[in-house]
Structure 1
């Protein structure tokens, strides 16, 4: 009996050791699982943080693009306004240059004699007081009626005016 009791006690001890070992193994396995889960959670947190940073960076970049576009538009508007102001200033300067303060002296000999006024008598006028001064150009126009000479640009004039001319005006151009 003593041997049986010893064997039973040994079996009981072995069973307790085995239970302890099993508990230790279970604890190790559970701790390993918990460590893996914490690692996964940490990695998931990191991933979530990285995604949030990426979204924020993208939003920041898009905001920067919008701000830069608005700046470019404003710069263009400012440049155009500055150019307009500069053009106005240049125009004022040019006007000041064009306006002469002193009367220029004419040439001693008239370069274009046909611009001189000549004394011509027209007996056709009703209000004729005597001698009138008429430029040579006008004299030429009056003489053209007498001579019936065509104008050099009659074709151009006819094209512009078309068929709406009266017979007397057509005779003027022909």
Structure 2
């Protein structure tokens, strides 16, 4: 567990986080100017947010189409029996699939919801779907395909004075 649950985020922290979500490569001097701090205290605050686990990582967000991953698939998975062993074996298998970019334990008709990115339908069927169907814990798979994405990888909606 990280220390983020214990860290009280103030208005400056939230502004820093919003700016970093928009541009993680922003120079510390520009970041400091935008939040009204000098560079040293700004840098210390960012390092504190990182060490507390509030900032988990920095990464580039790539164009899926530009790198040849033009099909986004959402797969609702139901496991055979609700047991820790089935769930654990399923999660372990899914974490080993690089095509699965998100996996959520959900309520409702499915137990898990996966977001999968692949070049095309044939790759999804021959690569991901076959591996999923081979897992003994899986009872049912319901698949939907994104026809167009209007918002993906969006920043988190941060609010001052509230941790939601």
Instruction: Tell me the TM-score normalized by structure 1.
Output: 0.17
Higher radius of gyration, 1 or 2: 1
Name the one with the larger strand percent. Answer: 2
Going by fraction, where is helix more abundant, 1 or 2? Answer: 1
Structure of higher RCO (CA pairs closer than 8 Å, 6+ residues apart): 2
